[in-house]
């Protein structure tokens, strides 16, 4: 069974993250991800970076992932 820590590790292997929170039940996961790689990108582009970091795992091992993505600047101003 996939754990939130597994997903966190897979994302941070490929994407620089200033902050990442993951929660889930083994099938459905929720994430808050703060990355400088998101700067200058719209929400769809930001989510695509996360999906790219997860690669084939997104289809094979993760049933559902909802996420909120932030640039470091957006995160700091919340």
Residues 30 and 6: beta-carbon distance below 8 Å: no
The pLDDT of residue 27 is above 90: no
Mean pLDDT throughout 41-64?
94
Q: Looking at residue 63, what is its pLDDT?
A: 86
Percent of the chain whose predicted confidence (pLDDT) is above 70 = 100
For residue 3, what are the CA distances in angstroms to 8, 27, 33, 38, 39?
9, 9, 16, 24, 28
- Bridge partners of 9, per DSSP, are none
Nearest partner of 37 among 57, 52, 25, 56, judged by Cα: 52
Query: pTM of the prediction?
Result: 0.94
């Amino acid at each position: 069974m996939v754990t939130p820590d597994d997903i966190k590790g897979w994302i941070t292997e490929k994407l620089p993250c200033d902050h990442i929170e993951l929660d889930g039940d083994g099938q459905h996961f929720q994430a808050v991800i703060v990355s400088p790689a998101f700067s200058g990108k719209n929400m769809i582009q930001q989510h695509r970076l996360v999906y790219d970091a997860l690669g084939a795992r997104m289809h094979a091992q993760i049933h559902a992932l909802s996420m909120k993505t932030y640039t470091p600047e957006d995160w700091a101003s919340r």
